[in-house]
Amino acid sequence: MNAGQARQGPAIEIFGLVKRFQAEGAPAIDGISTAIAPGTITGLVGPDGAGKTTLLRSLAGLLQPTEGTLRILGLDPFVQGDALRERLGYMPQKFGLYEDLTVLENLTLYADLRNVTGEARRLAFDRMLAFTDLAPFTGRHAGKLSGGMKQKLGLACSLLGTPEVLLLDEPGVGVDPISRRELWRMVRELAQGGMTVVWSTAYLDEAELCDDVRLMSHGKVLASGAPATLMGQMAGRCLHVTGILAHRREVLKRALRAPEVMDGVIQGANVRLVLREAGRWPELAPWEAGAGAALVEVAPRLEDAFISLLGGGPGGDSALAEMTPTVELDPHVDPHAVIEARQLTKRFGEFAATDDVSFRVSKGEVFGLLGPNGAGKSTTFKMECGLLKPTSGQALVMGIDLKSSPSEARQRLGYMAQKFSLYSQLTVRKNLAFFSGVYGLEGDRQRVKMDEMIVAFALAPYLDTLAADLPLGFKQRLALACAMMHEPQLIFLDEPTSGVDPVTRREFWAHINGLAQKGVTVMVTTHFMDEAEYCDRIGLVYRGRLIALGTPDELKQSVATAERPDPTMEDAFIGLIEEANQ
Amino acid sequence: MSALNPRRLWALCRKESYQIVRDPSSILVAFVLPVILLFVMGYAINLDADHIRIGLLVEDPGPAAVRFEQTLRASQFFEVHSGPTREVLAHRLAHGEIRAMVLVRSDFTAKLRQGQGQAAIQLVTDGAEPNTASFIGAYLQGAFDTWQQGLAADQGTHTVPTIDLRLRSWFNPSNVSRNFLVPGSIAVVMTIIGALLTSLVVAREWERGTMEALLATPVTKAELLVSKVLPYYVLGMTAMVICLAVSVFVMGIPFRGSLLALFGLSTLFLGGALGNGLFLSTVLRSQFNAALAALTSAFLPAMMLSGFVFEIGSMPKALQWLTRILPARYFASSLQTLFQAGTVGSLLWLNALGLSLIMAFWLGLAALKTKRTLD
């Protein structure tokens, strides 16, 4: 694995690459020129639709560039593909595994296809199986592996034939943080051996681990460089508001109104702010954060740099929240149990997807369900909003058992599904009209409500666009608008921000925060660790069980040690899961 | 570029075979479906009319009328139900309980004896099923002839007909329609199997994202294509053997041709059917769409236009031309020939030519559409 060092100059060169799929509209890749050094891990970072996958596929010779040229190891991947394929490893987003073949059969297939035979194959298999810890599972069908194991097997298959360049398309998606850390260890080892690795990701915290990153948006590279360099440009612009006694959401909202503040998020008990200029600090007093509150400078993150490049955050005011009436619960509803799970259990055959889960969510609380894919958070979630019937236990909403009177409960809740579940063949206006009609709005009330939503989510320019043709961020906005049409007193959001850019994510959280302040109870699932910080409380779901429940800071503190006094949310996540495994 | 590396080809074929063996649906389509379809088509589609229910009202107690009734009842084609009145019979006919009603008037014997005009037998048939109605007409005429001959014999005035018509049905002496329907339905069954199986396979690779990984390895276009055809060819031929065995040993259909000719023609036909499925799968990239397209484009025409049930010769000219591009037409004709007539070289060679051209067309098109890129 050291051929990369034999060549001089960059391993990958891209000159003026343009890729269009349709003659009209914006190209998927819009004039990218960059060079990637051998033996490094380079992150392609950006939201869905930024052009990461198209770029990787072009590099793998799977797409013909519309304009511009590519050189990998001095070869044109489209024209000299045959020569290049022997030296290139590529793992597509879905790992490229045959689910009905066993681990060993998958490895054998790819070894045959990549011309790895005889003694070399035996050695490669031994090394790969040891490397991935898959040796005990060689006879298991790939479809029956966990997400993390699939990803490692996919990596092993793309590594057969010891490629000099390795292209990984979002290997971290859908994989729990523990497996992700292992993957990083493996890829780091490969890069040290001289392999050039290109790794695409939507997670900015993950990208901080790369040697070099390309921040991408709308088919363009916004910035290139080492994460430390990019973050260095933000030095002196990142602050924490500590010692907050008032409500953090209120403080964040006020802070975001200050002209000096470019962006802000909630981080546990603190509020984290990014300034427009280093040294120009805002006035703390008007935020009424409390007597003990203080501004403390903190280390920048890659996300800060990205937000700054995108022109700053969206502000903290939510037009949606402003027009939402303050929630008045029925007098018989316990305000400490607007949402409640009592020994909630769901079995599919022998397998318990949700196993004895209990929690209560208070009025106006933002409650987050966190957990790796397949841990059971979606199952729990679906039972709580009446889409799945529990095997045993009870799911209650405002004291109403969803098993006995699901439609009565559903009238009071809003639900936004993980997948886009609006009518993609209808225009934005018709979707709004349909969903408001479904919830029983008609005449003037319907018109007024629709107009309010159009203003709150800035949908006016897209009213006659088909929902299918909307940009991802607007699809999510429309979905939230449709879910909020009937002014529900509680709302369920299943991974509402997955795949969208950080600015749109901020905007979503501004809505969520604003709604919570109006007394709307929010239950949300997410796999962004930083988003978990916005929640008042988090339930950590693992293997169907609720293994931890508490505020973000409580969870973080529970894994604090002498060597690691200030653990991150991801540290807490990994620590608690490892604890549960023992 | 389009070289075939034996190791890579073997690896791909092996992978495909594992997938076939482990996927219950492909086993179902290849082994269970043909047997079910053969039985359904062999027994349910029956062009022979047997035991048709008719109503009979004999108002005349005379011996001639009784004799006529006996002749009717003796016929294997009819199941005779006597009715009390015309109204009752008409009601039953309207409700489909009987397919026809036969009335022998009360003056039947008298008129016959006295020669006062013609003695009338009235036949009312259910014209909603024209096929059955015309069968009944013909059979009743037959029964009437038998009755008249019997009548003449009784009277001792045996009339010798000047023409003695002797009917021989060649190739299917007992005139059992199943003997020609089953070979035809094998063609339909094989069309379904061939097109349906391969219509899924390439689309599945696209849907599961394995195609992307495959294309990033050094496999060539030819290897990709051949590895998709070979395993399914073996599977299809196995299904063919099952069809043959079921037809001959279970359903008792005679097979008079050469097995080698059958093997050759089946190979040509499967090549075309697999190519058709492969092309749809490659172009549509979605299992659902491809399977739907395969069923519509291969199965329906095979059912309607292959000459398996409906004779091509009696179709409108335009449709007759259309049947020429259908592989099922040549295959059904070949199978019917091989089963019923034996190895008739001149006809089979012509069919083989048709099948070869169609196979070349579909496989060529599939090859043309198979690309090494995702565009």
Strand partners, A91: A168
Q: What is the pLDDT of residue A3?
A: 44
Question: Which residue among B7, B212, B218 sits closest to A96, beta carbon to beta carbon?
Answer: B212
SS3 at position A471: coil
Q: Which residue has the tokens 């109870």?
A: A521
Average pLDDT over residues B331-340: 89
Q: Which residue has the tokens 């990369």?
A: A4
Q: What is the pLDDT of residue A428?
A: 94
State the smallest CA–CA distance between residue A104 and chain B in angstroms: 12
Give the full edge-to-edge strand order of the sheet including A88-91.
A88-91, A165-169, A196-201, A41-45, A212-217, A220-225
- Does 3.40.1710.10 match the CATH number of domain B52-154? yes
* Distance of alpha carbon B104 from alpha carbon B120, whole angstroms: 7
Cβ distance A92 to B209 less than 8 Å, yes or no, reads yes
Which chain B residue has its CA at the smallest distance from A168's CA? B213
Radius of gyration of chain A from its Cα atoms, rounded to whole angstroms:
25
Strand partners, A217: A220
Residue spans of chain A under pLDDT 70: 1-8, 174
State the smallest CA–CA distance between residue B356 and chain A in angstroms: 32
Cβ distance B8 to A113 less than 8 Å, yes or no, reads yes
* Distance of alpha carbon A48 from alpha carbon A501, whole angstroms: 7
Q: What is the pLDDT of residue B119?
A: 64
Q: What is the pLDDT of residue B303?
A: 84
Two tokens, residue B265: 């023609």
Instruction: Tell me how crowded residue A461 is: count the other CB atoms within 10 A of its CB.
Output: 10
Which chain A residue has its CA at the smallest distance from B223's CA? A113
Which chain A residue has its CA at the smallest distance from B207's CA? A94
Assembly ipTM: 0.79
Two tokens, residue A522: 């929010």
- Our separate counts of H helices and E strands in chain A read 21, 23
Q: What is the pLDDT of residue B173?
A: 59
- The candidate with the shortest Cα–Cα distance to A89, out of A185, A39, A184, A154, is A154
Average pLDDT over residues B272-288: 91
Give the full edge-to-edge strand order of the sheet including A12-19.
A29-36, A12-19, A67-72
* Distance of alpha carbon A501 from alpha carbon A217, whole angstroms: 9
Instruction: Tell me how crowded residue A269 is: count the other CB atoms within 10 A of its CB.
Output: 17
CB < 8 Å to A110, chain B = 213, 217
Average pLDDT over residues B148-154: 74
Q: What is the pLDDT of residue A2?
A: 44
State the smallest CA–CA distance between residue B234 and chain A in angstroms: 20
The identity of residue A457, as a single letter, is F
As a whole-number percent, the residues of chain B with pLDDT over 90 amount to 26
Cβ distance B374 to A63 less than 8 Å, yes or no, reads yes
Instruction: Tell me how crowded residue A115 is: count the other CB atoms within 10 A of its CB.
Output: 16
B166-190 residue pLDDT tens: 666 666 655 567 777 888 888 988 8
The identity of residue A499, as a single letter, is G
Q: Where are the beta strands (DSSP E) in B9-165?
A: 52-58, 78-82, 100-104, 121-125
Average pLDDT over residues B311-328: 86
Q: Which residue has the tokens 């996919």?
A: A154
Indicate the burial class of A538 (C-beta count within 10 angstroms; 0-12, 13-18, 19 or more): buried
Q: Which residue has the tokens 């592989």?
A: B327
- The candidate with the shortest Cα–Cα distance to A49, out of A505, A471, A422, is A471
Q: Which residue has the tokens 């169609």?
A: B358
Return the H-helix or E-strand segment holding A582: none
Q: What is the pLDDT of residue A408?
A: 79
Which pairing describes strands A12-19 and A29-36: parallel, antiparallel, or unpaired?
antiparallel
Chain B residues with CB under 8 Å of a chain A CB are: 1, 7-8, 10-12, 14-15, 18-19, 22-23, 208-210, 212-219, 372-375
* Distance of alpha carbon B34 from alpha carbon B15, whole angstroms: 25
* Distance of alpha carbon A79 from alpha carbon A73, whole angstroms: 13
Per-residue exposure over B341-357, b if at least 16 CB sit within 10 Å of its own CB, e if not: eeebeebbeebbebbee
Two tokens, residue B222: 């030819």
B214-231 residue pLDDT tens: 998 889 889 999 999 999
Domain ranges of chain B: 12-45+176-369, 52-154
The H-assigned helical ranges of A77-176 are 81-85, 103-113, 118-132, 147-159
Give the full edge-to-edge strand order of the sheet including A392-397.
A351-361, A339-348, A392-397, A400-401
- The candidate with the shortest Cα–Cα distance to A185, out of A125, A133, A124, A114, is A133
CB < 8 Å to B23, chain A = 100
CB < 8 Å to B25, chain A = none
Strand partners, A214: A44, A224
Instruction: Tell me the whole-structure pTM to 2 decimals.
Output: 0.82
Return the H-helix or E-strand segment holding B315: none
CB < 8 Å to B14, chain A = 109
State the smallest CA–CA distance between residue A417 and chain B in angstroms: 22
Q: What is the pLDDT of residue A279?
A: 87
Q: What is the pLDDT of residue A422?
A: 86
Q: Where are the beta strands (DSSP E) in B61-143?
A: 78-82, 100-104, 121-125
Cβ distance B18 to A60 less than 8 Å, yes or no, reads no
CB < 8 Å to B373, chain A = 61-64, 78
